[in-house]
Amino acid sequence: RFIVVSDVIPPDATLVFDIHLLDLWNTADLVMTTIITTPKDCKRSVMRTDFVRYHFNGTLLDGSTFDSSYTRKQTHDSLVGEGWLVKGMDEGLLGMCVGEIRHIVIPPFKAYGEKGSGTEIPPQATLVFDVLLVDIHNPKDNITIENQVVPESCTRRSVVGDYIRYHYNGTFLNGVTFDTSYQRNSTYNTYIGMGYVIAGMDRALLEVCMGERRRVIIPPHLAYGDKGAGDVIPPYAVLVFDIHILDFHNPNDTVDIQVTHRPETCNETTAVNDLVYYHYNCTLVDGTKLFSSHDYENAQEAVLGADKVIDGLDLGLQGMCLGEKRVLIVPPHLGHGERGATGVPSSAVLVFDIELVSFQKGVPPGYLFVWLEDSPAELFQALDLNKNNEVPQEEFGEFIKLQVAEGKGRIKPGMTMEQVISDMFQNQDRNKDGIITADELKLKVDEDKEREARHDEL
C-alpha cells in the first residue's frame, strides 16, 4: 500500500517510476562459471588446498568495476578452499587450468552479503569476475620431472658434491620466459646439493647423466617462495626449467683412462721425463671439437712431467706402449680449470682421443746424460783418450757418442747430440780454459750429493 506524503504526492495521484535494475539474485542461485578459453594440454587443475595466482577484473552486475589485479600489475595469490577467498571464488576456481579464462558470477550470499565491502561493493551485490589462472601448486608438492631424455651411453650419474655445467631455459607455468643461459652463451656452473642454487634445482640436478635433457617443475617453496626474486620472479611463482646437462665432475676425480688399443708386443712404456710424440683429438663431453694434432703437419711432442701439457694429458700419456691408443676423460682441475682457455669453457671436462706415435726415454730433471750401466771406475782416464791428462771438447764428445752408440748411456731427449756435448762440456770446464782436467771432472750425482751436504751444514 502507498502512504500519502503531504506536500509531495497529492491524494489520488497516479505515480510513474523510471526503474534501473542494478542487481538480481535468488537464494537458490549457484555460482555460475563460463569457460571463455582453456588450454588444449591441461595436466593439472585447481583442487582444494592448492595455492593459485590469478589475474582478474571484478565488476558488479551493472558493469561498474570495483577492483582489478591488472591495474595493480600484480596477481592475486591465495589458497583455495581454506577461507582466504569468498566462498563463491573458492568454488569458481575449482577445476581451472593454468592459462584458462573463466567468467564467474557469484551471488551475494557467497560473496560479501548484506554488509558489502568498503565503499566499492555495496550490500547484497552480485559479483562478476573475469579470471585468468596464471599459476598453481600445492604446498605439499615436490619437484616434477618431465620430458626426460637420457643418453644410452650413460655410465655415471651426478651425486652430492659434484660440480656441474648445464644450460637452461627458465619459464613460468604460463610459458613466459624469465631467464635463459643460452642468451648469455654461457652455461650455469655450480656444485650440486650444497645450497648454491635453489633447493628445487639442487634436487633436480641429482642423478642426471652427461648429455641428459629434462624439464623440471619447481614449486615456490623449493624456489623463491613468498618473496620472489627482484622484478623478475614474482612471489609464489612456480618455475619451469628445461635443462641440458653438458658435463659434471667431482673435485676428487682423477683422469679416467680407457685403453682402446694396446699392441700385443710391448717391451717398454712411457714414463716421467720421456719425450713423447703423439696424435690427439680433444673435444668436450658433448662431442664439440676443440683441438686436433691432425690439423698440423707433425705429431705433438712433450716431455712428460715437465709441465709442458695439462696435468690430465700428462698423466694419460704415461705408461703407454708404442702404438697404443687411449681415450682420456680429464676433469677441469687437471685440465684448464675454472678459467678455461682460448676455446675451452670454464670448468669444462675434456675428452682426449690419443695415439702414441713414438717416444724417447728421458733423463731426470737437470741431467743431460745418464748412464744405463755403471760408469767407468776411472772416468777421467776413460775420457782422456790420448792420455795427456787433458780432455778438450772434441775428445769429450767422442767419448759421449761412443757410450750412446754402445747403449751404455742416454742423452736428454729433444736435444741434439752436439747441444748435449756442448752443454755438458761447459758444465765440466769450470775454469773455462777449453779443457777438462781430473780436478774439474765431477759426476752430476756427486755434485748433487755435495750440494745437499752443504745445505745440511747450513
Residue labelled with grid coordinates 710424440:
277
pTM for the model: 0.80
User: Which residue in this structure is represented by grid cell 676428487?
Assistant: 252
Question: Which whole-number Å values give the CA distances from 401 to 131, 237, 273, 405, in the listed order?
Answer: 94, 79, 21, 6
pLDDT per position in the chain (458 positions), as tens?
A: 455 566 788 888 899 999 988 899 999 999 999 999 999 989 899 999 999 999 999 999 999 999 999 999 999 999 999 999 999 999 999 999 999 999 999 999 999 999 999 999 999 999 999 999 999 999 999 999 999 999 998 999 999 999 999 999 999 999 999 999 999 999 999 999 999 999 999 999 999 999 999 999 999 999 999 999 999 999 999 999 999 999 999 999 999 999 999 999 999 999 999 999 999 999 999 999 999 999 998 999 999 998 999 999 999 999 999 999 999 999 999 999 999 999 999 999 999 999 999 999 988 888 899 888 888 888 899 898 899 999 999 999 999 999 999 989 989 888 899 999 999 999 999 999 999 998 888 877 666 666 555 444 44
Q: The CATH number of 256-360 is which of 3.90.850.10, 3.10.50.40, 3.40.50.1370, 3.30.70.20?
A: 3.10.50.40
Predicted local confidence at residue 457, as pLDDT: 46
Please tell me if the domain spanning 32-137 has the same topology as the one spanning 369-457: no
CATH of domain 32-137: 3.10.50.40
The pLDDT score that the predictor gives to residue 131 is 98
Report the relative pairing of strands 350-360 and 325-330 from DSSP bridges: antiparallel
Is CATH 3.10.50.40 the classification given to domain 144-249? yes
Please report the pLDDT score of residue 178 as a whole number: 97
CATH number for the segment(s) 369-457: 1.10.238.10
d(CA 454, CA 458): 6
Q: What pLDDT does residue 443 have?
A: 77
Break the chain into its structural domains and give their ranges: 32-137, 144-249, 256-360, 369-457
